[in-house]
Amino acid sequence: MKIQQVLLSLEELPKEWYNVIPDLPEPLPPEMDPPERPSRIELSRRITLKPLINQSAQKDRWIDIPEDIRDLWVKVGRPRPLSRATKLERFLKTPAEIYYKREDLSPTGSFKINTAVAQVYYAIREGAERLVSSTAAGQWGAAIAGACGLGGVSCTIYFVRFACETRPYRLIQMLMSGADVRRSPSDKTEVGRRYLKENPNHPGSDPITNSEALEDAIKSVERGEEAAIARGGATNYVVLHQSVIGLEVKKQLEMVEKVPDIMIGCVGSGSNFLGFISPFVKDRLDGKTTTRFIAVQTEAAPSMLKGEYRYDYGDAGKLTPLVKSYTLGIDYKFGHSYAEGLRQHQVSPILGILRKHGVVEALSYEDEAAFEAAKTFYQVEGVLVCPESAYAVKAAVDLALKAKETGKEEVIVVNISGSGFLDLGNYGTTLYKL
Amino acid sequence: MKIQQVLLSLEELPKEWYNVIPDLPEPLPPEMDPPERPSRIELSRRITLKPLINQSAQKDRWIDIPEDIRDLWVKVGRPRPLSRATKLERFLKTPAEIYYKREDLSPTGSFKINTAVAQVYYAIREGAERLVSSTAAGQWGAAIAGACGLGGVSCTIYFVRFACETRPYRLIQMLMSGADVRRSPSDKTEVGRRYLKENPNHPGSDPITNSEALEDAIKSVERGEEAAIARGGATNYVVLHQSVIGLEVKKQLEMVEKVPDIMIGCVGSGSNFLGFISPFVKDRLDGKTTTRFIAVQTEAAPSMLKGEYRYDYGDAGKLTPLVKSYTLGIDYKFGHSYAEGLRQHQVSPILGILRKHGVVEALSYEDEAAFEAAKTFYQVEGVLVCPESAYAVKAAVDLALKAKETGKEEVIVVNISGSGFLDLGNYGTTLYKL
CA distances from A250 to A8, A18, A262, A410, B331 (A): 11, 12, 13, 16, 58
* A10, A374, A424 member nearest B1 (Cβ): A10
Within 10 angstroms of residue A354's Cβ, the number of other Cβ atoms is 28
Q: Is residue A366 part of a domain?
A: yes
Give the pLDDT score at B434: 86
Q: What is the C-alpha to C-alpha distance for residues B426 and A334, in angstroms, rounded to an integer?
A: 34
Q: Are residues B127 and B250 part of one domain?
A: no
Specify the 3-state DSSP secondary structure of B184.
strand
Give the pLDDT score at B2: 66
Residue B71 with chain A: CB contacts under 8 Å? 1-2, 4
Specify the 3-state DSSP secondary structure of B284.
helix
Within 10 angstroms of residue A270's Cβ, the number of other Cβ atoms is 34
Of the three residues B229, B253, B271, the one that is the final residue of a domain is B229
Contact B379 A149 (CB under 8 A): yes
Q: What is the C-alpha to C-alpha distance for residues A388 and A295, in angstroms, rounded to an integer?
A: 12
With a CB cutoff of 8 Å and minimum separation 6, the contacts of A72 are A117, A120, A121, A147, A150, A151
Q: Is residue A310 part of a domain?
A: yes
Q: Are residues A382 and A252 part of one domain?
A: yes
Residue A74 with chain B: CB contacts under 8 Å? 1, 4-5
Q: What is the C-alpha to C-alpha distance for residues A372 and A393, in angstroms, rounded to an integer?
A: 10
Contact B380 A150 (CB under 8 A): yes
Locate the DSSP E strands across B230-359.
Answer: 262-266, 292-298, 308-313, 322-327
Q: What is the C-alpha to C-alpha distance for residues B249 and B243, in angstroms, rounded to an integer?
A: 10
Please, are residues B10 and A83 in contact by the beta-carbon 8 Å criterion?
no
Q: What is the C-alpha to C-alpha distance for residues B16 and B240, in angstroms, rounded to an integer?
A: 10
Chain segment B356-405, per-residue pLDDT in tens: 999 999 999 999 999 999 999 999 999 999 999 999 999 999 999 999 99
Q: How many helices, marked H, and strands, marked E, lie in chain A?
A: 17, 15
- Expressed as residue numbers, the domain containing B252 is 5-15+73-109+243-432
Q: Is residue A199 part of a domain?
A: yes
CA distances from A193 to A184, A188, A229 (A): 10, 7, 20
Q: Is residue A238 part of a domain?
A: no
Chain A's closest residue to B68, CA to CA, is: A1
pLDDT of B1 > 70? The answer is no
| Å between A7 CA and nearest CA of chain B | 7
DSSP B342-372: G--SB--HHHHHHHHTTSEEEEEE-HHHHHH
With a CB cutoff of 8 Å and minimum separation 6, the contacts of A334 are A300, A301, A343, A345
Give the pLDDT score at A207: 81
Chain segment A297-341, per-residue pLDDT in tens: 999 999 999 999 999 998 767 888 999 999 999 889 899 999 999
Q: Counting Cβ atoms within 10 Å, is residue B270 exposed (0-12), middle (13-18) or buried (19+)?
A: buried
Q: Which of B172, B375, B430 to mutate to test the interface with A (most CBs of A within 10 A)?
A: B172
A298 DSSP β-pair partners? A365
CA distances from B275 to A226, B103, B181, B363 (A): 49, 12, 28, 19
Contact B428 A71 (CB under 8 A): no
Contact B77 A5 (CB under 8 A): yes
Specify the 3-state DSSP secondary structure of B416.
strand
Rounded (5°) CA angle B314-B320-B323:
50
Residue B151 with chain A: CB contacts under 8 Å? none
> Considering only CA atoms, which of B405, B413, B104 is closest in space to residue B252?
B413
Chain segment B20-69, per-residue pLDDT in tens: 999 999 999 999 999 999 999 999 999 999 999 999 988 999 999 999 99
Largest CA distance in chain A: 65
Q: Are residues B287 and B423 part of one domain?
A: yes
Torsion angle, CA of B107/B113/B118/B121, rounded to 10 degrees?
-50
Chain B's closest residue to A78, CA to CA, is: B5
* B74, B105, B422 member nearest A421 (Cβ): B422
Q: Is residue B234 part of a domain?
A: no
pLDDT band at A260 (very low <50, low <70, confident <90, very high): very high
Chain segment A207-218, per-residue pLDDT in tens: 889 889 999 999
**Could you give the number of structural domains in chain B?**
2
Contact B77 A74 (CB under 8 A): no
Mean pLDDT in residue range B100-107: 96
Q: Are residues A367 and A348 part of one domain?
A: yes
Give the pLDDT score at A2: 66
With a CB cutoff of 8 Å and minimum separation 6, the contacts of A369 are A394
Q: What phi, psi does A182 have (nearest 5°)?
A: -115, 120
> Considering only CA atoms, which of B272, B283, B257 is closest in space to residue B411?
B257
> Considering only CA atoms, which of B176, B135, B181, B125 is closest in space to residue B155?
B181
Torsion angle, CA of A184/A187/A189/A190, rounded to 10 degrees?
110
Torsion angle, CA of B207/B210/B216/B219, rounded to 10 degrees?
-80
Q: Is residue A237 part of a domain?
A: no
DSSP A6-31: E---GGGS-SEEE--GGGSSSPPPPP
Q: Are residues B129 and B203 part of one domain?
A: yes
Q: Is residue A20 part of a domain?
A: no
Give the pLDDT score at B427: 96
Give percent of chain A above pLDDT 90.
91
Q: Are residues A103 and A126 part of one domain?
A: no
The pTM score is 0.95
Contact B5 A375 (CB under 8 A): no
Q: What is the C-alpha to C-alpha distance for residues A250 and A17, in angstroms, rounded to an integer?
A: 13
Please, are residues B392 and B364 in contact by the beta-carbon 8 Å criterion?
no
β-strands B180-184, B154-160 pairing? parallel
Mean pLDDT for all residues in chain A: 95
| Å between A106 CA and nearest CA of chain B | 9
Contact B384 A168 (CB under 8 A): no
Please, are residues B234 and B135 in contact by the beta-carbon 8 Å criterion?
no
Per the model's pLDDT, the better-predicted residue between A3 and A29 turns out to be A29
Give the pLDDT score at A94: 98
Please, are residues A232 and A240 in contact by the beta-carbon 8 Å criterion?
no
Give the pLDDT score at A319: 86
Q: Is residue B422 part of a domain?
A: yes
Q: What is the C-alpha to C-alpha distance for residues B124 and A235, in angstroms, rounded to an integer?
A: 50
* B74, B172, B432 member nearest A4 (Cβ): B74
Helix axes A367-381, A387-406, angle to 10 degrees: 80
| Å between A336 CA and nearest CA of chain B | 21
Q: Which of A74, A78, A180, A419 to mutate to test the interface with B (most CBs of B within 10 A)?
A: A74
* B76, B374, B379 member nearest A382 (Cβ): B76
Of the three residues B162, B197, B229, the one that is the final residue of a domain is B229
The one-letter code for the residue type at A149 is G
Q: Which of B67, B170, B176 to mutate to test the interface with A (most CBs of A within 10 A)?
A: B176
pLDDT of A1 > 70? The answer is no
Of the three residues A195, A229, A263, the one that is the final residue of a domain is A229
Contact A176 B384 (CB under 8 A): yes
Q: Which of B6, B67, B384, B386 to mutate to test the interface with A (most CBs of A within 10 A)?
A: B384
Q: Are residues A397 and A280 part of one domain?
A: yes
Largest CA distance in chain B: 65
User: Which CATH number is A161's domain given?
Assistant: 3.40.50.1100
| Å between A28 CA and nearest CA of chain B | 36
Mean pLDDT in residue range A120-126: 98
Q: What is the C-alpha to C-alpha distance for residues A185 and A215, in angstroms, rounded to an integer?
A: 12
Q: Name the strand (E) or helix (H) holding A281.
A: helix A271-285
Chains A and B form CB pairs within 8 A to the count of 151
Q: Cα B92 to chain center, whole Å?
A: 29
Q: What is the C-alpha to C-alpha distance for residues B159 and B161, in angstroms, rounded to an integer?
A: 6
Residue A76 with chain B: CB contacts under 8 Å? 382
Contact B71 A427 (CB under 8 A): no
* B297 secondary structure, DSSP code: E
Contact B9 A4 (CB under 8 A): no
Q: Which of B167, B375, B424 to mutate to test the interface with A (most CBs of A within 10 A)?
A: B424
Q: Are residues B356 and B247 part of one domain?
A: yes
Q: Are residues A131 and A267 part of one domain?
A: no
Contact B168 A425 (CB under 8 A): yes
pLDDT of B317 > 80? The answer is no
Q: Are residues A365 and A216 part of one domain?
A: no
Q: Are residues A140 and A53 part of one domain?
A: yes
Contact B7 A5 (CB under 8 A): no
Please, are residues B304 and B298 in contact by the beta-carbon 8 Å criterion?
no
Q: Are residues B286 and B179 part of one domain?
A: no
* A71, A168, A378 member nearest B176 (Cβ): A378
Contact B425 A172 (CB under 8 A): yes
Mean pLDDT in residue range A96-105: 97
Residue A422 with chain B: CB contacts under 8 Å? 421, 424
Mean pLDDT in residue range B248-268: 97
Give the pLDDT score at A434: 86
Chain segment A159-186, per-residue pLDDT in tens: 999 889 888 999 999 999 999 999 999 9
